[in-house]
Structure 1
Amino acid sequence: MEDTHEGHNAVAVITAWGEYDADTVGPLESRLAAAAATHRTVVLDTGAMTFGDSSFLNLLLKMHRITQLRIAAPQQQLQRLLRLTGADQVLDVRSTLEDASRP
């Protein structure tokens, strides 16, 4: 599940919670793509996520190519996934939603 709202300076903030895998990532992809179509910066608040697999990681990398994507407040499992794959060196990962929402 996810929620979208406007952040500071027309930054789109999408909140994701729960688990994301090949079977559940579709609606999130649609929300991210819609936000990217109308906002220069898209923040994905992952603080309430409990799991993300390679499908989720592929979505992040895809969105990174089409918009200024910021990942906010990743929990331990997502931090580990990003670190092990080296994606933390490519993606803009911020420790808090507040920091990610700044211009």
Structure 2
Amino acid sequence: MKAPQVTVRAEADGVRVVVCSGEFDLDTTGLLIEACDVRPVPAGLLVVDVRQMEFGDSSFLNALIRLRNTRSMALQGPLPSQLRRMLEMTGALDLFEIRESPGYAG
């Protein structure tokens, strides 16, 4: 298993980018939650960059859905094939704005 890593950076216009790489499961999805858990919830957009992910299980999907339900959020793609399949199989793909272009703003 490739160790998960999460990095956070603030972009212009209040955009917060959280970059996920490696493999995420029940034991490691908390890294994503901690990186996104900012109080109070910022008004700007949260972008979760999943381009470097190798695996995410249902707990990762659950975390994404919870985040999406609490703030303005987008996924930075292209989505890894495993994550795309999971989103399609669960019917969750349509819940997310997916940004395929390299820029975060806009």
TM-score above 0.5, yes or no: yes
Q: 1:93 aligned to 2:98?
A: yes
Match of 1:41 among 40, 45, 51: 45
Match of 2:15 among 11, 16, 21: 11
State the aligned residue count.
101
Q: Determine helix, strand or coil for the equivalent of 1:37.
A: coil
Question: More helix by proportion, 1 or 2?
Answer: 1
TM-score (normalised: structure 1): 0.89
1:1-103 maps to which residues of 2 (within 5 A)?
Answer: 1-34=5-38, 37-73=41-77, 74-98=79-103, 101-103=104-106
Unmatched 5+ stretches in structure 1: none
C-alpha change, 1:39 and 1:5, in structure 2 (3 Å) is: farther
Unmatched 5+ stretches in structure 2: none
TM-score (normalised: structure 2): 0.86
RMSD: 1.6
Extract structure 1 runs of 4+ deviating beyond 4 A. Answer: none
Provide the rounded CA distance (Å) in 1 between the counterparts of 2:81 and 2:6.
19
